[in-house]
C-alpha cells in the first residue's frame, strides 16, 4: 500500500483491521462444529483433512505444536468422514 502512495494512517488502520479478520483457534473449532452439522460433512471433512495435511507439511518439517494441532483436527474430522 505504501509503495503505491497509500497514506500511513490508512495503512495502520488496514493492518489493524486485517488482524481482526484472521481466525484464531476458537474460530477454527467453531467452523469444524458447523461442518459437523452439515449434510455433506463427510465430503467437507475430507477436503479439510487434505488441506490440514498440506499446511502441516508445507515447510517439510513438523514441529510439536503442529503435531498437537494435527492430532486435534484429524481426530475430530476423521469421525465425520467415517
Domain of residue 34 covers 24-81
At residue 66, the pLDDT reads 84
Q: How many CB atoms lie within 10 A of CB 5?
A: 6
Residue 13 forms part of a structural domain: no
pLDDT for residue 5: 66
Residue 67 has pLDDT above 80, yes or no: yes
- Domain assignment of residue 43, yes or no: yes
The answer to the question of residue 70 being in a domain is yes
Residues 11 and 32: their CA atoms lie apart, in Å, by 33
Q: Is residue 32 part of a domain?
A: yes
Q: Is the pLDDT of residue 61 over 80?
A: yes
With bands split at pLDDT 50, 70 and 90, how would you rate the model's confidence at 79? confident
Which tens digit of pLDDT belongs to each residue from 2-54? Answer: 556 677 787 788 777 776 776 777 787 788 888 888 899 899 889 888 888 88
Cell 465430503 sits on residue: 43
Amino acid at each position: 500500500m505504501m509503495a503505491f502512495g497509500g497514506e500511513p494512517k490508512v495503512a495502520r488502520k488496514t493492518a489493524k483491521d486485517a488482524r481482526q479478520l484472521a481466525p484464531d483457534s476458537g474460530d477454527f473449532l467453531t467452523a469444524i462444529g458447523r461442518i459437523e452439522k452439515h449434510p455433506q460433512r463427510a465430503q467437507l471433512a475430507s477436503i479439510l483433512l487434505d488441506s490440514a495435511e498440506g499446511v502441516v507439511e508445507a515447510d517439510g518439517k513438523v514441529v510439536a505444536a503442529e503435531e498437537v494441532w494435527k492430532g486435534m483436527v484429524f481426530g475430530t474430522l476423521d469421525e465425520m468422514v467415517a
